[in-house]
Structure 1
């Protein structure tokens, strides 16, 4: 009788899924048009500007005023969708494809509960998460806990996807940095809106897969305590694209070519260049969040995308944060452990003080 180790099975599933999705010619690879030319230099500079030299230098962000429409409502809840001009500065705005200039957000909230007695969590997109539905399903059951869910559609995704882009396969390396930088600005502006315009008593930010890195950065940079909830998270995109399942020889070959949005790698190999560029996403470089006890990582024991050491590096950089382990791999945990993600959201928010004590 053959005994199957479930951990090994989950790990193999991640690699099979990743191979089919990223290493075959069934679909175009990431970065099929190269580095991104002068945009890459701009993004490297602007990501470094995220780190404030003095407290509050990058706060407040530009305020957004979404234009809302009601999608549906019941006796106890309401779902609205909103649009707003992305609040990033003109350099970033002009670097974006026109399709990404307008941001979209879904907002699921309880009815007849004052905002100061509610919490709201901003959910950021994982790789390939083009729509609102998946994250709304994650947040929906939290309505009974008086926790609202705000879902941001990322630039380069959904209705914000450039015409020439296939699925989630970004055309240039610079697009990955641009997606992250603009997502951070939009999420920070939404949190500011929730705090100062809507008056929510507690706030948080979460993300799964790609969104977990962005959530960690947003939570790190926020000037007041919020719940920061990165799920299935590495400490850096280097782990995924240079070491994990997303690494593929096709990247190296493509990035050595010269194309309309490509430039030579300045006497460095393409893999070394990629590592140096993606090191800008290393969250251990970011400040410790204002309340590290409200930081909860949820990681998978047999994740083929994210090795355990990467999760633990981030926990070490943020003393007081917590790591919770679920059994499975990256893909299986994404499908099977929504309950663990919801519990982390509830527990992280419970570790915060109310902005105003509910009456």
Structure 2
């Protein structure tokens, strides 16, 4: 299945750049990874927000078919990870992605804020309750429901199991400030020496940066090149003529096996990624093991390609760590989940990523014709139908 040309064209028309300031402060990433482990476990997470968490209603507007409430509350995340949220985001609902870490702040805050709102809705007597969202909103809804301790309808539209593909192989990857990310990754050794060791393996797809991934990405990149959309900053051509052909191997007690050659990187089945650091630095070690001066003999373009690959793999790693739904609890009743996806979505790649049906056994996935943009513009009636159907299932299964 190809990708939507409308998705690609629409992305070209937008001049917005993502992560213009880089990865974010290393100490913030460390704190966020530790916090992810807390909210990734439903039993631990539900104790973070009390059932009487204060929510303040500022304005009530009565309409013929609904009631609109405008209110505010302090984000619970501000209590658990102090000074990591922008001041304007602690109470207001603004967000921007100037750093990679901002996406993780947004996700963690939304999980706890959703719990606060759901508790308030229950206190006010509203129900049944459910959650839905489109694109990033759909993914955020998935994370929120995974931490709610009761059965709940969930309808994520145009989202999938992880954001790693969105920012490495999807069309949004062309909007990322890769030069700044590469520079920071190269000049600040804390990413390679410390942060990598905090990443946890969450499934068979995580860090699978082997020949199959490279082959698929190169194929899709070739198609995008014809539309003048491929940025040289994420070139995955990893043919290095000076590199030794001898693989670099490492092993650990968790049956981890990492091998790397000039043709690609492969991380096989494992529960942790102790060898990930060596994987990322394979190119450099290969250069120097062949000849102490080999690295300096490489052309500037070859050295840059090596840095691009390492930055890309690191991006996939941190995205999987904080956004992969397999790193969070399975929702209480997956049969109440209806996922709506576009077959030709160029924003949300599904190639090489675990299916939500595998992670959430019993959920339903409905595929629409077309891509991300056309589905958003013309298929919202199908989104609403999925919402109706999910609530009908809930009422049929749990109504008194």
Aligned counterpart, 1:209: 135
In structure 1, how many angstroms separate the alpha carbons of the residues matched to 2:112 and 2:98?
22
Cα distance in 2, alignment partners of residues 347 and 250 from structure 1: 37
Question: Residue 4 of structure 2 corresponds to which residue in structure 1?
Answer: 11
> What SS does the aligned partner of 2:355 have?
helix
- Where does structure 2 lack aligned partners over 5 or more consecutive residues? 194-279, 281-309
* Match for residue 46 of structure 2 among 49, 56, 59: 59
After superposition, residues 165-180 of structure 1 pair within 5 angstroms as 168=96, 170-180=97-107
Q: Which residue of 1 aligns with 2:117?
A: 190
Rate the CA distance shift 1:59–1:250 in 2: closer, same or farther, 3 A: closer
1:62-211 mapped onto 2 (5 Å cutoff)? 62=50, 63-70=52-59, 72-103=61-92, 153=93, 155-156=94-95, 168=96, 170-195=97-122, 197-211=123-137
CA contact (8 A) 1:228 1:294 kept: yes
Matching residue within 18, 21, 25 for 1:33: 21
CA contact (8 A) 1:201 1:356 kept: no
**1:308 Cα shift?**
4.4
Query: For 1:270 and 1:308, how far apart are their aligned partners in 2?
Result: 21
Where does structure 1 lack aligned partners over 5 or more consecutive residues?
Answer: 1-6, 104-152, 157-167
Query: Do the aligned residues in 1 keep the contact of 2:111 with 2:147 (CA within 8 Å)?
Result: no
Alignment: residue pair count: 279
Could you give the per-residue CA deviations for residues 280-323 of structure 1, whole angstroms, max 9, x where no partner exists? 21112322211111000001121111234478711221111001
Deviations 1:83-115 (A, max 9, x none): 111122424342111100104xxxxxxxxxxxx
Kept in 2, the 8 Å contact 1:203–1:227? The answer is yes
Indicate how the Cα distance of structure 1 residues 355 and 98 shifts in structure 2: closer, same or farther if over 3 A, else same: farther
Distance 1:185 1:75 in 2: 32
Q: Tell me if structure 2 keeps the 8 A contact 1:301–1:326.
A: yes
Q: Does 1:340 find its partner at 2:340?
A: no
Instruction: Note if 1:315 corresponds to 2:357.
Output: yes
Partner Cα distance (2:128, 2:353) in 1:
26
Q: Displacement of 1:245 after TM fit?
A: 0.7
TM-score by length of 1: 0.71
Please give the alpha-carbon distance, in whole angstroms, between the structure 2 residues aligned to 1:237 and 1:198. Answer: 34
Report the CA distance between 1:56 and its aligned residue: 2.7
Offset, 1:42 = 0.9
TM-score w.r.t. length of structure 2 = 0.64
- 1:244 counterpart residue number: 170
Question: Aligned partners of 2:380, 2:110: CA distance in 1, in Å?
Answer: 23
Shift of 1:68: 1.8
Change over 3 Å in CA distance of 1:58–1:333 after alignment to 2: same
For 2:66 and 2:319, how far apart are their aligned partners in 1?
A: 41
Change (3 A) 1:215 1:357: closer
Q: Is the 8 A contact 2:55 2:72 kept in 1?
A: yes
Equivalence for 1:233:
159
Separation in 1, partners of 2:58, 2:176 = 44
Residues 58 and 72, structure 2, Cα contact 8 Å, conserved in 1: no
| RMSD (Å) for aligned C-alpha atoms | 2.7
For 2:9 and 2:152, locate their aligned partners in 1 and report how far apart those are by CA, in whole Å. 37
> Which protein is richer in helix relative to its size?
2
Q: Could you say which structure has the higher strand fraction?
A: 1
Q: How many Å apart are 1:74 and its aligned residue?
A: 2.9
State the alpha-carbon separation in 1 of the partners of residues 143 and 90 from structure 2: 22
Contact between 1:299 and 1:311, CA under 8 Å: does it hold in 2? no
CA distance in 1, matches of 2:398, 2:4: 45
Residue 67 of structure 1 deviates from its aligned partner by: 2.2
CA shift, 1:219, in A, is 1.4
Equivalents in 2 of 1:310, 1:251: separation in Å?
24
TM-superposed CA distance for 1:264, in Å, is 5.5
Counterpart secondary structure, 1:81: strand
CA distance in 1, matches of 2:33, 2:320: 10
The answer for the alignment partner of 2:182 in structure 1 is 256
